[in-house]
Chains A and B, each alone.
Chain A
Amino acid sequence: MAGIPFDLQLLNLCAALLLLLSFAMLAQRRIVTLVNLLALQGALLFVATLLLAWRTGQHHLYFSAALTLALKVIFLPWLLHRLIRRLQVYWDTEPLLNISGTMLAGIVVVVFAFGLAEPISALASTATRNSIGIAVAVVLLSFITMITRRKAMSQVVGFLSMENGLFFGAMSATYGMPMIVEFGVALDVLVAVLVLGIFFFQIREQFDSLDLHHLESLKEDQ
């Protein structure tokens, strides 16, 4: 690996771990672990942002690293854990597609993601442009997590992990979006999770369960 500076190697390591975590999420059925994986993903994102901030000397990246730490590593996982305890949902039911099938689909998606990222990487001039493919892969894998799960909680974790992937993509391609936008996005994510928290209690009150198959009665011909 001569020629690649040490900090860049660390960044690439973070990217690789992010991809690995996405696969772990795809396979994980225990919701508490799923939230822990999400927190870990946030932590990796925090480390990557910090490394990038140090490397490029861009001050706004320090700020966005702090935002990531506060929101994605500490607050959201804490909130989700609290919700899990209050609502007593610990396990997801059997996913719509079995785990090994999902993993195989995931591999195909990763190949597709790298193909998709090719023109973007060609345009970007950042040192981290090789990670764009990984970011796209994380987004698509989270999407698979969302569509194969039955429990509302796992879908939300998928949703947040998708947002993490997008954030990582923006970071590796352009060293982050303008501050005002990043701030707005963070605010939206925060509000989204709070709204969902309220929502869960409403669903639970109505159905005594967070299983989404209760929510399948509205059909076209109703």
Chain B
Amino acid sequence: MEFLLLLGGPLIGALVMSVLGARRWAPELNVAVSLITFIAACALTARVIGAGSLVMAHEQFFIDPFNVFLVTLTAFVGLTTSLFSRPYMRVEMEHGRVSAGRLRLYHSMYQLFMTTMLTALTTNNMGLLWVAMEAATLSTVLLVTLYRTAASLEAGWKYFILCGVGIAQALFGTILLYIAAEKVLGAEGVTALLWTHLDAVKGQLEPTVLGLAFVFLLVGYGTKVGLAPLHNWLPDAHAEGPTPISAVLSGLLLNVAIYAVIRCKVLVEGSLHSQLPARMLMGFGLLSVVVAVFLLWRQRDIKRLFAYSSIEHMGIITFAFGMGGPVANFAALLHMTVHSLTKSAIFFAVGHAAQKAGSQLMDQIRGLITLSPTIGWGLMLGALAILGMPPFGVFASEFLILTTAMREQPWATPILLTALGVAFAAIFSRVQPMVFGETTARRLPHPPALLPVFAHLAIVLALGLYVPPYLANWYRAAAHLIGGP
């Protein structure tokens, strides 16, 4: 029941919005639908805490410790983003950047995007996972090009083609997985793509084909994660679309893509009994961290800056999953959570800042603290949190990842530490003048409502100080499920 509401709510919301999405109260309706989704996710979580893992709808959908917290996180950030988008899109309308028809498209696609992500997270069928990931790309392409500027069209095209080609590789990987699975699970093909069944027989799957499948799956879903060298679409798509979309792309879609990679990795590792998948994850992860960090220096657009920071963090998470084992997996899951919350909070603050300054160029955003203390502090605290300053949660997860790396993969530690240092210098040196710099602008008459920013940052802070036992148990159970060498 909760589950039906979880997927059906946003889907029906998308249909309703495609008709009513331009009404005066449409933003409120958007919030209401997101709230229903969030309540359904909470109810589902409560049930899973009580009853353990669930399998639903002829085994096509399932909830286990790994995806349940991602479902809740996705629904939560979906809700806060809809709260943020309410005033944001109103202002965009007033500035004439968005017409009524486009607002309808925006609201409808926003809910459709939530549906596809939640489907991808809860499905047990590796084929449906692929379908949902592709649908997630398609529902956001038209959102990236919402402003119809030359740059946004280019960003949308790049996003479509790169992710389209990437995801075609993933389809090939899925087919290979099916070929190997069919040998073991029978040619009827009914159960041969179901993850729970595959997991049960992963030791018997043909290693050569699964190894090949993993290469394709990693390249395919890795494109969506934004792993270097396939990251080109990510900064463009983040910078050119409306800011609420940047927040959900960075905070949620990247997580869902990593989730898909890790589901595949669990199967392949069980079949191969070798270090290959782990090494590939570590390699791509580290490469992304290094590439992103050095490109951070060259950015002039604030949204591109934080998009590159997302690539860096996805690299760190991928690296941690590559190391595997209970501690690194735990840290990676925690990092997924805190990165998602922090990065979306930053995008909320950035959205307001860019809207007030009338530009996304960092040179033209100055003295936010005089303009509006809430935006200024929101951006500053968000930046400090994402840079891994204690006592925020990002510090805790990065600390765990680094200490594990010292023990397991000592060679990688200096690279990671240097990268984190460079990222700190690059981002802090840009954010500092934006927040505290000289400005001639006067204080805004009405302080903008930035409740979502501070709510997110408060949770990240709380997670840095104390991880509640039930959450820790979840992470541990998920970390155990993911396993690793």
Report whether A215 and B175 are in contact in the complex, using a CB–CB cutoff of 8 Å: no
Instruction: For B240, give the chain A residue with the smallest CB separation.
Output: A218
Chain A residue numbers with a CB within 8 Å of B176 are 120
* A183-216 interface (Cβ within 8 A of B): 184-185, 187-188, 191-192, 195-196, 198-199, 202-203, 205-207, 212, 214-216
- Given A166-B171, A178-B193, A202-B148, check contact A191 B135 (CB 8 Å): yes
Partner of A206, one of B148, B155, B298: B148
Report whether A119 and B192 are in contact in the complex, using a CB–CB cutoff of 8 Å: no
- Given A119-B209, A178-B190, check contact A146 B165 (CB 8 Å): yes
- Given A120-B209, A195-B138, A195-B142, check contact A215 B158 (CB 8 Å): yes
* B144-191 interface (Cβ within 8 A of A): 145, 148-151, 153-158, 160-161, 164-165, 168, 171-172, 175-176, 178-180, 182-183, 187, 189-190
Report whether A207 and B150 are in contact in the complex, using a CB–CB cutoff of 8 Å: yes
CA distance A146 to B178 in the complex (A): 27
Chain A residue numbers with a CB within 8 Å of B161 are 146, 155, 159
Report whether A203 and B179 are in contact in the complex, using a CB–CB cutoff of 8 Å: no
Partner of B145, one of A146, A185, A192, A202: A202
- Shortest C-beta distance, B249 to chain A (Å), equals 16
Report whether A181 and B172 are in contact in the complex, using a CB–CB cutoff of 8 Å: no
Chain B residue numbers with a CB within 8 Å of A187 are 131
- Given A120-B212, A155-B161, A215-B157, check contact A184 B179 (CB 8 Å): no
Chain B residue numbers with a CB within 8 Å of A207 are 150, 153
- Given A143-B165, A152-B157, A199-B157, check contact A174 B150 (CB 8 Å): no
- Given A202-B145, A202-B153, A218-B155, check contact A181 B179 (CB 8 Å): no
* B105-158 interface (Cβ within 8 A of A): 125, 127-128, 130-131, 134-135, 138, 141-142, 145, 148-151, 153-158
Instruction: For A139, give the chain B residue with the smallest CB separation.
Output: B172
Instruction: For B207, give the chain A residue with the smallest CB separation.
Output: A119
CA distance A152 to B161 in the complex (A): 10
A37 part of interface (Cβ distance < 8 Å): no
Chain A residue numbers with a CB within 8 Å of B141 are 195, 199
- Shortest C-beta distance, A125 to chain B (Å), equals 8
Instruction: For A116, give the chain B residue with the smallest CB separation.
Output: B212
* A156-171 interface (Cβ within 8 A of B): 159, 162-163, 166, 169-170
B269 part of interface (Cβ distance < 8 Å): no
Mask of B203-231 contacts with A, CB within 8 angstroms, 1/0 = 00010110010000000000000000000
Number of interface residues of A (CB under 8 A): 49
CA distance A216 to B236 in the complex (A): 12
B301 part of interface (Cβ distance < 8 Å): yes
Chain A residue numbers with a CB within 8 Å of B212 are 116, 119-120
Chain A residue numbers with a CB within 8 Å of B151 are 217-218
- Given A195-B141, A203-B157, check contact A120 B179 (CB 8 Å): yes
CA distance A174 to B298 in the complex (A): 49
CA distance A188 to B206 in the complex (A): 30
CA distance A187 to B150 in the complex (A): 29
A67 part of interface (Cβ distance < 8 Å): no
Chain B residue numbers with a CB within 8 Å of A162 are 165, 168
- Shortest C-beta distance, A104 to chain B (Å), equals 22
Chain B residue numbers with a CB within 8 Å of A216 are 154
Instruction: For B304, give the chain A residue with the smallest CB separation.
Output: A222
Chain B residue numbers with a CB within 8 Å of A198 are 142
Report whether A206 and B127 are in contact in the complex, using a CB–CB cutoff of 8 Å: no
Instruction: For A175, give the chain B residue with the smallest CB separation.
Output: B187
B47 part of interface (Cβ distance < 8 Å): no
B23 part of interface (Cβ distance < 8 Å): no
Mask of B71-89 contacts with A, CB within 8 angstroms, 1/0 = 0000000000000000000
B56 part of interface (Cβ distance < 8 Å): no
- Shortest C-beta distance, A68 to chain B (Å), equals 16
Report whether B153 and A180 are in contact in the complex, using a CB–CB cutoff of 8 Å: no
- Shortest C-beta distance, A123 to chain B (Å), equals 5
- Given A123-B209, A195-B138, A206-B150, check contact A169 B158 (CB 8 Å): no
Report whether B164 and A181 are in contact in the complex, using a CB–CB cutoff of 8 Å: no
B295 part of interface (Cβ distance < 8 Å): yes
Chain A residue numbers with a CB within 8 Å of B178 are 170, 174, 177
A173 part of interface (Cβ distance < 8 Å): yes
Mask of B266-299 contacts with A, CB within 8 angstroms, 1/0 = 0000000000000000000000000000010010
B443 part of interface (Cβ distance < 8 Å): no
- Shortest C-beta distance, A143 to chain B (Å), equals 7
Report whether B193 and A181 are in contact in the complex, using a CB–CB cutoff of 8 Å: yes
- Given A166-B172, A195-B141, A202-B148, check contact A220 B131 (CB 8 Å): no
Partner of A159, one of B149, B164, B240: B164
Partner of A177, one of B127, B153, B301: B127
B300 part of interface (Cβ distance < 8 Å): yes
B60 part of interface (Cβ distance < 8 Å): yes
8 A–B pairs (Cβ distance < 8 Å), ordered by A: A116-B212, A123-B180, A146-B165, A185-B134, A188-B131, A195-B141, A199-B142, A203-B157
The 6 tightest CB contacts between A and B, nearest first, are: A181-B127, A184-B131, A215-B154, A119-B208, A188-B134, A170-B175
| Chain A interface residues toward B at CB < 8 A | 116, 119-120, 123-125, 139, 143, 146, 152, 155, 159, 162-163, 166, 169-170, 173-178, 180-181, 184-185, 187-188, 191-192, 195-196, 198-199, 202-203, 205-207, 212, 214-218, 220-222
